[in-house]
Each structure stands twice: as C-alpha cells, then as structure tokens.
C-alpha cells in the first residue's frame, strides 16, 4: 500500500493508504475525503476532483495533459501551477508519502 496525505483547506491532514494502480481520486473517495467529489467517476469529463500536488511531488506525478488542462478551466477552484485532476494521477510505489492539497470549493 502507498501512503497519501491529504491536506484540507483549513490545514488539517488525513493520511490514507491506497493500492498501486488506483488513482488519487479513488483513494480520496475510498477514504472519505469529501472535497474530492468526482462526479464523472474518473472519466475526465468534469473538474470536481481538482487538487493541488505539493510542490515537492510535482516532478513525480507528471505533467497534466492538454485535455486535463482544458477540464481544469471548467472547475470552480483556482487553477494553479500545481493543479491536477486527481483521477489522472496513478498511485504507484514511487508516490509513497505523496502530499495532496485540497481546494476550499469544488463544485
């Protein structure tokens, strides 16, 4: 299992375990991270799983695709250089300890 730390907008943290091969979005949903709504279920057709990858981890999570970039523009949360759709980040052993910051609003 891979450890992921979700940081809520108020600064509180929740550490969860996720299986390699799943997505960060699925890890959030499986562990009651309510800020990750994921209305489309991970098919990249909404932006309700928007998150911010901690700057220390951006090189390991990869760059967002053009389609992901376009979808982020439809979300309510501010788009930042570290913005990603959590459905597009695959959990792997290399991401053990990953830190994900959650937006205040998703919608």
Domain boundaries, the chain: 2-101
Between CA 51 and CA 82 the distance in angstroms is 8
Q: Is the dihedral of CA 4, 52, 95, 68 positive or negative?
A: positive
Q: What is the mean pLDDT of residues 72-77?
A: 90
The predicted structure's pLDDT at residue 17: 98
Cβ atoms within 10 Å, residue 16:
18
Between CA 75 and CA 89 the distance in angstroms is 17
Phi/psi at 53 (5° precision)? -75, 130
- What is the domain class of 2-101 according to CATH? alpha beta
Q: Is the pLDDT of residue 47 over 80?
A: yes
Q: What is the mean pLDDT of residues 100-104?
A: 96
pTM of structure: 0.95
Three-state DSSP state, 64: coil
């Amino acid at each position: 299992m891979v450890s992921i730390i979700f940081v809520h907008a108020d600064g509180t943290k929740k550490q969860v375990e996720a299986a390699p091969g799943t997505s960060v979005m699925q890890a959030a949903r499986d562990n009651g991270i309510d800020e990750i709504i994921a209305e489309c279920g991970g098919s990249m057709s909404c932006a309700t799983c928007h998150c911010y990858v901690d700057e220390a981890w951006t090189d390991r999570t990869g760059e967002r695709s053009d389609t992901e970039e376009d979808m982020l523009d439809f979300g309510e949360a501010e788009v930042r250089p570290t913005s990603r759709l959590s459905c597009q980040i695959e959990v792997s052993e290399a991401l053990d300890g990953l830190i994900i910051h959650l937006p205040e609003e998703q919608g």
